[in-house]
Copies of this chain bind each other. A is one copy, B any other.
């Protein structure tokens, strides 16, 4: 089963001038940035699904990848062959973290009983693999969107039997994540929305979702899992509308169920743009709400309206995102998972490496840029000065709830205020970012 990656030597750091497409040019893992190594800052993870499960199909065409582990073995052996390939890839890439869905790693199951057995069987194998590797688990998640039983929703399904199946999957996946030392657990509700509002009780469904996430949090504490739980926002696709639309919507949801201290967000840039936000907006909103967790790095195509899940290549965008991530304190349990897939035409083993090398180099460069920006204080000083009027006087009283509309209106009248519009200096600030993007 092995051999697919045999002709690829372990990837080395060679520096920015290297012409070797199979070498890192910026990702110098141990290099210190603001006192911490690049690898500890970024906590790069490889995702299981796009790299080892997907065969290159799209909605208009069949699979184009000829991965040997997708062969005609019985399922359990195929699952193990896939695991071998995955860890072989991790090793050659420098042993990053990984992320998985339960159904990515296991032999397919149709009944609860089979699910529990098949999942347990592969988790044992994963544990063994990890014992001989420096690769760690960033986070796990249960796939509750691909099986036909979930066509009308997972925890928001009109049929309670389906929700019991969800409970089973999440319980076992959360426990496996705990056992494998995962730093986090993700909930992505691909079917937690509606295709048509005509057949949907949105109030009921949001209530189901609220209760379900609450049960997951309770279970986390029950089993003593110390990692984080993150919801991954997305506005739509495959559904017309998904309840966890964006960071602000997720925050409102958490607040409604009293979960805002318990659950954070796993932000994906392509989901951000589909929701009408840029990447850094979602990061900074999560910072503002105190729910920043982890990132699924990728990019969408600004001219295409679906989730393209491409590897990131925009240095400015990722510099900005990492600037706000660092400003918020950086990753703790979270990390930089590449929820990205090579293009359907990129059908060789090399392409998987090109993609990850490009992504890791990009993040390393963006991290160095972001750190320089932080240390220069050019942006932060400007912003801080701009709002400095709120520290004292009536303004400060307003923020602390010690004044009222009448008093403020009176103040305006007494001073007969005629505030001069002060330049926002957008182009000046953008030039700074451009200069630091290198």
Residue of B nearest to A428 (CB): B354
Selected from B285, B417, B424, the residue in CB contact (under 8 A) with A165 is: B417
The stretch that binds B, out of A39-47, A81-89, A121-129, A142-150, is A142-150
Q: How large is the interface on A (under 10, 10 to 19, 20 to 34, 35 or more residues)?
A: 35 or more
Q: Are A146 and B199 in contact (CB under 8 A)?
A: no
Cβ–Cβ contact A240 & B345, under 8 A: no
- Most chain-B Cβ atoms within 10 A of its Cβ — which of A62, A64, A246, A345? A345
Q: A418 — which chain B residues lie within 8 A by C-beta?
A: 110-111, 149
Q: Which of A71-79, A131-139, A224-232, A379-387 lies at the binding interface?
A: A379-387
Chain A at the B interface: SS class: helix
Check B345 against A219 for contact (C-beta < 8 Å): no
Known: A197-B280, A409-B164, A421-B148. A427 touches B240 (CB 8 A): no
Give the residue among A110, A168, A252 with the most B Cβ atoms within 10 A. A252
- A164-B416 contact in complex given A252-B248, A277-B241, C-beta closer than 8 Å: no
Give the CA-CA distance A246 to B303 in the complex, in Å. Answer: 14
Q: Determine whether A408 belongs to the interface, using a CB cutoff of 8 Å to chain B.
A: yes
Instruction: Compute how far the CA of A163 lies from the CA of B390 in the bound complex, rounded to whole angstroms.
Output: 11
Output the least CB separation between A412 and chain B (Å). 4
Chain B residues near A379 (CB-CB < 8 A)? 198
Contact A345 B168 (CB under 8 A): no
**A259: CB under 8 A from chain B?**
no
Q: A401-B214, A405-B215 are in contact. Are A315 and B315 (CB under 8 A)?
A: yes
